[in-house]
Amino acid sequence: MATDVQAMPTDPTPDAAYPPLASYAVIGDTATLALISESGSIDWLCLPDIDDAASFGRVLDHHRGGYFTVAPPRFHSVERTYRDHTAILESRYETGEGVVTVTDLMVIPDRRGLHPERWLIRRIRAERGTPTIRFTYAPRPDNGKTVPQWRDHGTGVWQWRTGKRALTLLSDMAGAPSANGTVDGGCRLEEGEERQLRLAFASHDALALPGTESVEPAIERTERFWRDYASRSTYRGPYRDAVARSATMIRLLTFSLSGAILAAGTTSLPEAPGGMRNWDYRYCWLRDASFLIRAYLGLGYHDEAKAFFTWIMHATRLTTPELTPCYSVYGRTDIQERRIDRFEGYQRAGPVREGNGAVSQRQLDVYGSVLQAALLFAEAGGRLERSEQRRLRRFAQVAREQWTLPEKGIWEMRGPPRHYTYGKAMCWSALTAYAALIRRGTIRDDPAPYEAEAGRIRDAIVRHGWNEERQAFTGAFGADFLDASLLLLPRFGIVEADDPRMVSTRQAIDAELRRGPHLRRYAEGVDGGGESEGTFWACGFWAVEGLARAGDDEEARSRFEALLADVPPTGSLSEERDPDTGALLGNLPQAFSHAALINAALTLKEASS
């Protein structure tokens, strides 16, 4: 038998109010995701979908954000692992009273029968001794705007309703709501005893509450989903564990209801200490398309690649013939940026933003990314509908007509539009990919005009993108700053990896932007921002690809292994990394970073064979 006790965890000290981002583990159900700290606190969860307002947002405001903690009141150590090849987190706490394991998962939806729209399970088991477990349940829906008033059903069920929305906590431990909108409770466990908490959310009239008997089938179904996903990977190359974990992270960011892949699972985690470079990445950036399609196809995930490509073709219908840089999970572009002033920001580094102003920018690289993705999809056996062929033709026409225009570039730099070299290269890629689709018989059209224009783009890149004084391709025509995105030129075919100009470019980038195995995207001050940036995970992996393509397999592997050594134990990568402290910077998990890791591994495998 268990002895129930009432308890409230002690408020952390100010220094511990914001845990390091590297300490957060990620769970999710492919519609939304949660971040869980080492102390067992869910500090980020948007409901019902990943781009909705946060119900638990303490990662952005320790006082107003909302959280859900399940852990011993005091513990000596914690060891966290994912159950093999799944997104099910197991946290093993060593305490003075014994050992307790907390298993956390978001349940993969079952389309049959009546089930919660979203639900999360936190199962506790005493492994040794008689440990005490405590919980504090303090959601703050609507990005911290709402403090719930709980209806206590007296049977371990606490519910908050507003309109058609309902948030329910079910527990087999004693607890009690407080006036400040929290539910606190806990118990002392006997060795071998299990307890559980279930969070259920509904945004419509039909509210299904998961009974105790439904927990084990839900866990089994969720575990089966993730194991099946892992088993479908055809990757048999080196570094399989790192590749598999990154594949899981990308699947967590793949919105199953539409097929979209989100850039990241969070908003406004600062890219630079002190804030300002804080953006909402809970949208789909088309710049990521070819990287993600290559990663999925390279690992054998044809169904996910097809779903993503189909989503791209569906989402872009309303903006054709032009493409916007980002779309919502359902293909909307009405995602204008606004500030959430009630949140102070992670480590008090605001502002916190919702929406993203990049939606209105001209970014020419997206045309190359989408047409590359189409070519990869077709080469893997995918079939293009007639309407999709017509749309791709119009995208190619825009790239052909607009490549001479200035734009904001892949990095969305501040200041006026410029003639960014990467954008020109991606327009070249758009036209050559479209011509390849024609020549392989996928699309009926004349390839000659597109190939001729591609030739003119390449000539312009070689003439205006090359800086003789720096002996490198530079970030914009006529400019002298270096840009790590140009490490990708050999992948596109603009120049060979062992071409002396590319070798010299790599050397210049290493000399100026490298910190260990990591790279900055460009030097400080280039974009006009006053804040110090970190190194970009993706850029480090792009360097690995470039070295492998140039035949320097030993150096490529050495750098790749050094990068992997810096990946946090949770396996979740952000966009950037502080080169001095090793802290993660920016939103996480970041699809761009994980796709770069996978693609680097694929390139290493191809180079070795």
- Closest by Cα among 73, 118, 122, 115 to 101: 122
Which run of H or E residues covers position 44? Answer: strand 41-46
β-pairing, 284-285 with 326-327?
Answer: antiparallel
pLDDT score recorded for residue 396: 98
pLDDT score recorded for residue 100: 98
One-letter amino acid identity for 112?
A: R
When pLDDT is cut at 50, 70 and 90, the band that residue 207 belongs to is low
Place of tokens 């049959």: 112
List phi, psi (to 5°) of 588. Answer: -150, 160
When pLDDT is cut at 50, 70 and 90, the band that residue 451 belongs to is very high
Q: Is the pLDDT of residue 326 over 60?
A: yes
One-letter amino acid identity for 495?
A: V
Whole-angstrom distance, CA of residue 489 vs CA of residue 112:
48
Which segments of the chain belong to CATH 1.50.10.10? 257-608
Mean pLDDT of the chain: 93
Cite the beta strand spans of 142-299 per DSSP E. 151-152, 157-162, 165-171, 175-177, 183-188, 194-202, 284-285
Whole-angstrom distance, CA of residue 480 vs CA of residue 527:
13
Q: Is-cis flag, bond preceding 48, omega within 30?
A: yes
pLDDT, tens only, 483-496: 999 999 999 999 99
Whole-angstrom distance, CA of residue 324 vs CA of residue 363:
8
DSSP helix/strand/coil, 215:
helix
Contact assessment for residue 120 and residue 107, using Cβ atoms and an 8 Å cutoff: yes
List of residues 6+ apart from 287 with CB closer than 8 A: 325, 363, 365, 366, 369, 410
Q: How far is CA 29 from CA 113, 226, 254, 507, in A?
A: 18, 10, 10, 43
Contact assessment for residue 422 and residue 409, using Cβ atoms and an 8 Å cutoff: yes
Which has the higher per-residue pLDDT, 405 or 6?
Answer: 405
pLDDT, tens only, 232-260: 999 999 999 999 999 999 999 999 999 99
Q: What pTM did the predictor assign?
A: 0.95
Q: Left, alpha or beta for 275 (phi > 0: left; psi -120 to 50: alpha)? A: left
Options 1.10.10.10, 3.40.190.10, 3.20.20.70, 2.70.98.10; CATH of 24-207? 2.70.98.10
Which segments of the chain belong to CATH 2.70.98.10? 24-207
Sign of the four-CA dihedral 374, 474, 362, 291: positive
Q: Is the pLDDT of residue 477 over 70?
A: yes
Domain 257-608 is in which class?
mainly alpha
